[in-house]
Structure 1
Amino acid sequence: MKTHVKALVVGGGAVGCGIAYHLAKAGWDTMLVERDELTSGSTWHAAGLLPLFNMSYATTHIHKYSVDFYKTLEAETGLNAGFAVVGNLRMAQTQGRMDEYMLYSSVAETAGVHHEFLTPAQIRDRWPLVRTEDLKGALFHPQDGYINPADVTQAMAKGARQRGVQIERKVQVNGYRWTGSEWVVTCCRMVDRGGNLVPSDDTFEICAEHVVTATGNHAQRTARLLGAKIPAIPVEHQFIVTEPDPALVEWRKTNPEHPVLRDADAKWYVREERGGWILGPYECGAPARFLYDVPETFRADLFPLDLDRIEIEYLSMIHRLPSSETVGLKDDFNGPICYTPDGNPLVGPVPGLRNMWIAEGFSFGITAAGGTGHYLAQMMIEGEAEIDMASLDPRRYGDWMTTEYAARKNEECYEHVFILHHPDEEREACRPLRTSPAYDRQAAAGAQFGQVNGWERPNYYAPFGFDDHHSRSFRRGGWWSYAVEEAKAIRETAGLIDATAFTKHLVRGPGATAFLDWFTTNRLPAMGRINLTYALTPAGTTRTEYTTVRLSENEYYLISAGAWSAYDGDYLRKCAEDRMSDFGYIDIHDVTTQWGVFALAGPNSRAILRELVKDADPDTVLGNKRFPWLSMRSIELGMCPVRAIRVAYTGELGWELHHPIEMQTYLWDRLIEAGEDHGLRLVGARAQNWLRQEKSYRAFGSELGRDATPLEAGLDRFVDLGKAFQGKAAMLATGIRSRCVTLLIDGPADADAWGKEALVLNGETVGRLTSGGYSVAFEKQIGMGYVRPDLAAPGTRLQVRMLRQLWDAVITEDSPHDPANARIRADG
């Protein structure tokens, strides 16, 4: 057995085998170890569905790659993976569900996923066993289907072996130790004693430059061995298999197999199985399991079935397939399927560790296995994948995450598999958890909160008694009119936004200036000044956006997106560690929870601050001469010391007021009092999102990410090509593959773009939106997105796919509202 390899994959399910295959395909010397038998985890009892498409752009590409890849395995390995391309029929009982599918359709169009809409009559004509009188219609993916999970895993394993991968079964990993250049992985042989799999005294070590864990149900044990937090915890998933249905058997004598049927409003999927049906429900009350460990007695085992829990779903299957009513149950399964709090798997590097990668938390592991192997191998070997994998990055969760939180959120995620996924969806489990001191005051003022990185953040403010949950929609929900008034207030008077969730890092030390000059694209600001800058990936794409405040010669305050604290911090620290010998000592602290942030913006914002500034001449303190745009000053607002930054994400005259968190309620009260005579209105994140699009301000996670360079994003003015910085050569070599643009849209009267829609020219998809909303300045829909470079000129007319229709749109100049920035620079 090998003792030294380039890459060691831990876990022999579908995901692990897919990773091993693709690492070997790329030429890496790879080994895989599995504590039991291949497929003995969740793989063996998976239903094997291959839902080609979902609403995540990255996950859609992963699934699409898998489906295409699985079709090639038999020719390569001689093993038939049992791929049945029967299609996937997503049925809708309500108009809301059809609206969801119309948004699905537009996103699928941008990813090249073929699909079609069917009417109830067309469904009935093609599949008469399906009851359709209460349906609105369906979305049909003819290229979807299902596969045998064990067979496709064994096919990938054989393909991996053919490429040189050594696969060792009955080997358990018991420890990981990093030497500075490689991982020493402590292992032992496992033995079967009375049906239980137990460790033996046969221990040994494997040295590997890189390690990937794909341990499925054992993710919590992996987390303890690594000293990391991995919020992948299984939830019980039941499915039942019926006896043959005579009506189905008769139908199949002359007709092809039914597609996978998904009645999302009834919360189940159904497919054919040997003349009968498989029902897979996603019911309420399914419990999380294995919060801390998997018992040694649990191997390829199942939990007892809880039929009472799925009674509603079972009866709804009978309603949809009346012929199944008299058919008995043949078999049942209730096994663990891993989830994460947001439903996306965890794919990427482990925070704080070098060359340690995880691929955990797959609720659709069979569908994702091939694509995960492909894109993770790209990340490991080339430094980045060709698609932005940030939405799957393990570092999207911070150290505040606990086992209890993950378990409860994973249960909620399971229950929500088929619940309408509104773009404005806010799930309620485990909330509130992270709250700023002003939370109670905001709640009392009618704040309707969203959650970002665990933080409660006002989305908008509504009158008491307003029901946020029932106001959600794929069109303009009940919150829309409130957001409109909030946006108008910032344009006309003033608005106050809680931005406490911003990520904040303090970077200082003798090497700080030289490091940050190399780490970011823009020239560093002078003391007391700020700039907007970008950290790049080694591939030259955008890794992080920072507002950089220079506090002193070698001390900087870095502000970045609130959703990405651990993601930004881990990258920042690792890059600094790598270059400390070149630049000198660098001290980095995450100070996010030490500083609260209020954004005060609007034409009257200076007048409000003037009432609170403690200085002999408040007018001079706040005027352009002493406090110009893009500068920082330490000021006192009443008894609160404030690090005030003259910048506004809304594009109006304004300041970010960074303050000691313990003084937040005091400052909130003073600002509210001072604003009473100046039209101050409380404003949430949704109005802010609309306003920043009127200024063409790019948002990280939307316009900015690891699949576009700053030059493609149109951020040339923040890139100093006269200096050396990380990723510069790769950025220039990439060139301009697409361009970020802002569009004004003449859309439907009751809906706005969400930022997922296809952009079309003469029937051809030429780009996609990454943001969308409503413009109060232009009184029409607005969006931002990427198009072919030859189409990026202002005045170019395109169309946007919304609600299955094409709506006219025109590309505007950047910053269509106040392009000269006269309002944000205003003196007074």
Structure 2
Amino acid sequence: MKTHVKALVVGGGAVGNGIAYHLARAGWDTMLVERDELTAGSTWHAAGLLPLFNMGYATTHIHKYSVDFYKGLEAETGLNPGFYVVGNLRMAQTDARMDEYMLYSSVAETADVYHEFLTPTQMKDRWPLLRTDDLKGALYHPQDGYINPADVTQAMAKGARQLGATIERKIQVNGYRWTGSEWIVTCARMVEQGGNLVASDETFEIRAEHVVTATGNHAQRTARLLGIKIPAIPVEHQYIVTEPDPMLVEWRKTNPQHPVLRDADAKWYVREERGGWILGPYERNAPARFLYDVPASFRADLFPLDLERIEAEYMSMIHRLPSSETVGLKDDYNGPICYTPDGNPLVGPVPGLRNIWIAEGFSFGITAAGGTGYYLAQMMVDGEAEIDMASLDPRRYGSWMTTEYAARKNEECYEHVFILHHPDEEREACRPLRTAPVYDRQKTLGAQFGQVNGWERPNYYGPLDAPTHFDHDSRSFRRGAWWQYAKAEAEALRETAGLIDATAFTKHIVRGPGATAFLDWFTTNKLPAVGRINLTYALTPTGTTRTEYTIVRNGLNDYYLVSAGAWTAYDGDWLRKCAEDKAPEFGYIEVHDVTTQWGVFALAGPNSRAILREVVKDADPDTVLSNKRFPWLTARKIELGMCPVNAIRVAYTGELGWELHHPIEMQTYLWDLLLAAGAKHGMKLVGARAQNWLRQEKSYRAFGTELGRDATPLEAGLDRFVDLSKDFQGKAAMLATGIRSKCVTVLIDGPADADPWGKEALLHDGVKVGRLTSGGWSVAFGKQIGMGYVRNDLAEVGQKLKLRMFRDLFDVTVVEDSPFDPQNARIRKDG
């Protein structure tokens, strides 16, 4: 057996074999080890559904690749993966569900996923066993279907072997040790003992330059061995198989299989199985299992069935397929399937460690296995995938995440598989958890909170007499009840002033003798002078945008970096690893995460200077905030009452304003001080939704929407923040990439009751030419606004396009960057 390889994959389920195949195809010497038999984990009892479309952009591309890849496996390996292309019918009982499917449709169009809409009559004509009289319609994906999980896994394994990979069974990994250049992985041979699988005395080491873990239900053991946290914990999933249905058997004599049926409002999927039906519900109260470890006695095993828990879903299947009422049950399954708190798998590098990657937490592992292997191999071999994989990055969860949090959120995620996925949804489990000191004050004032990276952050401020679940009850695919409050907040900030809690911002200190040389190499823009700030970007090795930073220079080699609040661990890990790599060249560099030490209030609007003058303590309070003493894009340490503040003259809303970075322990004092002063000048509390609209009026790109690992800063139209006279990480790759598409701001003559969510397709002459990445309402222009990417030749100001919303096309006009106050006169205003 080999003891030294380029890449070691740990885990022999569908995902692990998909990764081994694609690494071998890339030319890497690859070995896969499995502690039991291939497919012995969740793969063996999976239902094998292949839902081609997912609302996530990266996940849709992963699923799409898998479906195409599986279709060619038999020709390559000689093994039939058992792929049945029967289609996928998503049925809707309500108008709200049809609104959801219309949003699905627009997103699917951006990813070139074919689909059709069907009426209840069309469904009944094609599949007469269905009851459709109480349906509104359906979304149909004819290229979907289902596959045999064991067969497709074995086909990928054979394909990997044909490409040179080695696959070893009955080997358990017991430890990982990094030498600085390779991993030493300690292993034990597993043997059968009384029906259990136990480690023998035969131990050995495998040396690998790279390690990938795809350990499924054993993810918590993997996390413990690596000394990290992996929020992948299984949840019980039940499905039942019926005896043959005589009416179905008769139908099938002259007709093809039914598509996979999804009655989302009833919370189940159904597909045919040998003349009968498989029912898979996503019910309430399914428990998380294996929070800390998988028992040694649990192999290809199942949990006891709990039919009472799925009684409502079973009865609704009978309602939808009346012929199933008299059919008996043949088999039942209740097995563990991994989830994560947001439902997305964890695919990418491990925080804090080198050359080790995880592919864990797959609730749709069969669908994702091929695509995960393809894109993860790109990340490992080429340095980056061709699509932005940030939404799946393991570092989207920080060290604050605990086992209890993951278990409860994973149970919630399971329950929400078929609950309406509003773009403005805010799930309630495990909240509040991370709160700024002013949380209770904000709540008293009507704040309706969202969650970002565990932090509670006001989305908007509702009426003071709002019921406890006001936000939950007001969600919609159109304009929810919150819309009027966000609109009033945006208007107030444009007209008087607004106060925004931005405490969730990620903050790092970078300092030391090598800090200046390092940051000059690490970022695209010129570094600011002491007391100044700049906006800049860190690139991936392939030249795309890795992170956006506001850099404040506090001293010669002392910098304060501010980045997006959702990405603290993601940004910190990359920053630290790059600093460690360059320290021998540039000198000693310190990187400190100070996110939880500093609160941030953003005060902006025409009256913001007057409000600060009420509370600033200075020998000359009338001029301390003037352009002469405190110009735009500078930072100064000032005193507001008794609170020392690092004030930064910048505003994400495009108005005169300051970010007030303050010691977190003084936050409630500063809050009360500002509210009292602001009351005299018409200041209103403003949440994240209004801020998102306002920043689009200024064409401010946001990381995670316009900015990501699939576009360069030049494609994003950020040339002014890229200093091509200096060398920086990713520069050559960025220039070699060129301009594949351009980021534009658009105004939209949209529907009267809805705004775009930033997921919709842009068309020209009936052809898709781009997609929105952000969307909302513009109070300045009185119409919908959006940002997105379009073909280069269609990015000129004045270009007319179409936007698809609710299956209709609406007029779109490309406008100049920063359509509101393009000369920045309001931001620079003196006084």
TM-score greater than 0.5 by the shorter chain: yes
- Alignment correspondent of 1:825: 828
716, 726, 729: which is aligned to 1:726? 729
1:43-54 → structure 2 map (5 Å cutoff): 43-54=43-54
Q: Distance in 1 between matches of 2:364 and 2:807?
A: 28
Partner AA of 1:613 in structure 2: V
- Alignment correspondent of 2:21: 21
Partner AA of 1:234 in structure 2: P
SS of the aligned residue for 2:624 comes to helix
Q: Which moved more, 1:465-474 or 1:259-268?
A: 465-474
SS of the aligned residue for 1:619 comes to coil
Counterpart check, 1:570 vs 2:592: no
- Alignment correspondent of 1:419: 419
658, 678, 701: which is aligned to 2:661? 658
Deviation for aligned residue 1:616: 2.0
- Alignment correspondent of 2:791: 788
Q: CA RMSD in A?
A: 0.4
Q: Distance in 2 between matches of 1:620 and 1:430?
A: 47
- Alignment correspondent of 1:475: 478
1:788-807 → structure 2 map (5 Å cutoff): 788-807=791-810
Counterpart check, 1:358 vs 2:358: yes
- Alignment correspondent of 2:758: 755
Deviation for aligned residue 1:677: 1.0
Q: Distance in 2 between matches of 1:665 and 1:194?
A: 62
Q: Distance in 1 between matches of 2:97 and 2:361?
A: 27
SS of the aligned residue for 1:62 comes to helix
Deviations 1:226-249 (A, max 9, x none): 001000000000000000001101
- Alignment correspondent of 2:199: 199
SS of the aligned residue for 1:28 comes to coil
Deviations 1:251-305 (A, max 9, x none): 1111110000000000000000000000000000000000000000000000000
Q: Distance in 1 between matches of 2:473 and 2:250?
A: 44
Q: Distance in 2 between matches of 1:39 and 1:676?
A: 64
Q: Distance in 1 between matches of 2:320 and 2:686?
A: 46
581, 591, 594: which is aligned to 1:591? 594
SS of the aligned residue for 1:354 comes to coil
- Alignment correspondent of 2:164: 164
- Alignment correspondent of 1:312: 312
Partner AA of 1:269 in structure 2: Y
- Alignment correspondent of 2:749: 746
Counterpart check, 1:644 vs 2:647: yes
Counterpart check, 1:765 vs 2:768: yes
Deviation for aligned residue 1:617: 1.4
1:158-307 → structure 2 map (5 Å cutoff): 158-307=158-307
Q: Distance in 1 between matches of 2:318 and 2:620?
A: 77
SS of the aligned residue for 2:386 comes to coil
SS of the aligned residue for 1:326 comes to coil
Partner AA of 1:504 in structure 2: K
SS of the aligned residue for 2:399 comes to coil
Deviation for aligned residue 1:455: 0.1
Deviations 1:388-431 (A, max 9, x none): 00000000000000000000000000000000000000000000
1:493-642 → structure 2 map (5 Å cutoff): 493-642=496-645
Partner AA of 1:91 in structure 2: M
Q: Distance in 2 between matches of 1:228 and 1:600?
A: 38
772, 777, 786: which is aligned to 1:774? 777
Q: Distance in 2 between matches of 1:790 and 1:518?
A: 33
Deviations 1:594-648 (A, max 9, x none): 0000000000000000000011211210000010000000000000000000000
Q: Distance in 1 between matches of 2:734 and 2:133?
A: 55
Partner AA of 1:132 in structure 2: T
SS of the aligned residue for 2:325 comes to helix
Q: Distance in 1 between matches of 2:746 and 2:101?
A: 24
Q: Distance in 2 between matches of 1:683 and 1:325?
A: 54
- Alignment correspondent of 1:683: 686
Q: Distance in 2 between matches of 1:368 and 1:354?
A: 25
Deviation for aligned residue 1:508: 0.3
1:65-80 → structure 2 map (5 Å cutoff): 65-80=65-80
Q: Distance in 2 between matches of 1:512 and 1:157?
A: 47
Partner AA of 1:556 in structure 2: Y
Runs of 4+ in 1 over 2 A off after TM superposition: none
SS of the aligned residue for 2:615 comes to coil
SS of the aligned residue for 1:152 comes to helix
Partner AA of 1:50 in structure 2: L
Q: Distance in 2 between matches of 1:602 and 1:178?
A: 52
Counterpart check, 1:111 vs 2:111: yes
SS of the aligned residue for 1:39 comes to coil
Q: Distance in 1 between matches of 2:692 and 2:246?
A: 56
814, 817, 822: which is aligned to 2:817? 814
Counterpart check, 1:669 vs 2:685: no
Deviation for aligned residue 1:51: 0.1
Q: Distance in 2 between matches of 1:469 and 1:555?
A: 44
Q: Distance in 2 between matches of 1:537 and 1:392?
A: 16
Q: Distance in 1 between matches of 2:785 and 2:131?
A: 41
Q: Distance in 1 between matches of 2:359 and 2:466?
A: 43
Deviation for aligned residue 1:171: 0.1
SS of the aligned residue for 2:315 comes to helix
Deviation for aligned residue 1:725: 0.3
Partner AA of 1:106 in structure 2: S
Deviations 1:87-126 (A, max 9, x none): 0000000010000000000010010000000000000000
Partner AA of 1:187 in structure 2: C
- Alignment correspondent of 2:33: 33
- Alignment correspondent of 1:58: 58
Q: Distance in 2 between matches of 1:616 and 1:73?
A: 77
Counterpart check, 1:337 vs 2:337: yes
Deviation for aligned residue 1:381: 0.2
- Alignment correspondent of 2:100: 100
Q: Distance in 2 between matches of 1:455 and 1:518?
A: 32
Deviations 1:754-800 (A, max 9, x none): 00000000100000000000000000000000001111010000000
Aligned residues with identical type, % of pairs: 85
Deviation for aligned residue 1:558: 0.0
490, 500, 504: which is aligned to 2:493? 490
Partner AA of 1:193 in structure 2: Q
Partner AA of 1:604 in structure 2: N
SS of the aligned residue for 2:238 comes to strand
Counterpart check, 1:451 vs 2:454: no
Q: Distance in 1 between matches of 2:828 and 2:809?
A: 38
Deviation for aligned residue 1:465: 2.0
Q: Distance in 2 between matches of 1:257 and 1:619?
A: 78
Q: Distance in 2 between matches of 1:736 and 1:660?
A: 43
- Alignment correspondent of 1:717: 720
Number of equivalent positions: 828
Partner AA of 1:190 in structure 2: M
Q: Distance in 2 between matches of 1:802 and 1:763?
A: 14
Partner AA of 2:299 in structure 1: R
Q: Distance in 1 between matches of 2:317 and 2:799?
A: 49
Q: Distance in 2 between matches of 1:697 and 1:740?
A: 11
Q: Distance in 1 between matches of 2:540 and 2:181?
A: 22
Q: Distance in 1 between matches of 2:233 and 2:177?
A: 24
Q: Distance in 1 between matches of 2:157 and 2:822?
A: 57
Q: Structure 1 length as normaliser, TM-score?
A: 1.00
Deviations 1:442-487 (A, max 9, x none): 0000000000000000000001224111100000000000000000
Q: Distance in 2 between matches of 1:465 and 1:710?
A: 43
Q: Distance in 2 between matches of 1:543 and 1:90?
A: 36
Q: Distance in 1 between matches of 2:684 and 2:149?
A: 56
Q: Distance in 2 between matches of 1:470 and 1:764?
A: 37
Counterpart check, 1:465 vs 2:444: no
